[in-house]
Structure 1
């Protein structure tokens, strides 16, 4: 299990909003997150970018979509969220695993518990590409 600290530029993501999401939950909002990801893939994109932003209830608001360079390129009904530039811990699946998304979130949770990263609990980015490629960017203080 490893990660690398990377400096990321500002990222704009356009997509659909899901309130009160716990990204680390095994149920992942009762399948709504996966359903929304499938809807975005149906648009013909190569990668789905999900931004998790903390809300006041301790969960996250998720924007599931793709990179978007201007508001004019948003699909009708989509919103745009900007993730500011900063330092992130980048996690990828640890070898062949049954659920690569659960694996990267577990790695991030373990790294935080062990004190190897200091999470900022700001915007965090999950990128999925077919068939099983996943990258998770955890915001750092």
Structure 2
């Protein structure tokens, strides 16, 4: 398992919204999520970010997009989500599976199950840099 505890500054992200998403190692493989990622990548986004936001009584909402430097950087029609500053467990692929996104989510699930991290179930950030560089930031209590 490959993770470290990091402190992240408050960061804004812009992108397209997918409500009522499941969170976990298989969530990234849904057809709708794949389709939305492809649409955002067609815009020329090199560092594709998915921010999962807990919505009371609805579950998780995914915002698929990009780091937003300022409001002028926000594309027309996209939403803006702010991930507050805090401590996160940062996971990188360790080769558990051939899919690097699935790999980091499995590691996060195992780390929580083994009591190595205590998740806050707040904003969780997945950063994908093609072809296979992934970082997953799991919010901690």
Q: Which TM-score applies when normalising by structure 1?
A: 0.93
User: Relative to structure 1, is the Cα distance of residues 117 and 100 closer, same or farther in structure 2, using a 3 angstrom cutoff?
Assistant: same
- Is it true that 1:116 corresponds to 2:116 in the alignment? yes
In the aligned structure 1, how far is the partner of 2:39 from the partner of 2:112? 32
Once superposed, what is the RMSD of the aligned Cα atoms? 1.6
What is the CA distance between 1:69 and its match in structure 2? 1.5
In the aligned structure 2, how far is the partner of 1:27 from the partner of 1:81? 20
Q: Which TM-score applies when normalising by structure 2?
A: 0.93
CA contact (8 A) 1:22 1:29 kept: no
Ranges in structure 1 where 5+ consecutive residues have no aligned partner: none
**What is the aligned residue count?**
141
Give matches, 1:62-141, under 5 Å: 62-95=62-95, 97-141=97-141
In the aligned structure 2, how far is the partner of 1:11 from the partner of 1:122? 14
Corresponding residue for 1:20?
20
Corresponding residue for 1:56?
56
Give the match's secondary structure for 2:136. strand
Give the match's secondary structure for 1:109. helix
User: Relative to structure 1, is the Cα distance of residues 17 and 100 closer, same or farther in structure 2, using a 3 angstrom cutoff?
Assistant: same
What is the CA distance between 1:50 and its match in structure 2? 0.7
In the aligned structure 2, how far is the partner of 1:112 from the partner of 1:82? 24
Ranges in structure 2 where 5+ consecutive residues have no aligned partner: none
User: Relative to structure 1, is the Cα distance of residues 96 and 112 closer, same or farther in structure 2, using a 3 angstrom cutoff?
Assistant: closer
In the aligned structure 2, how far is the partner of 1:100 from the partner of 1:59? 24
Give the match's secondary structure for 1:5. strand
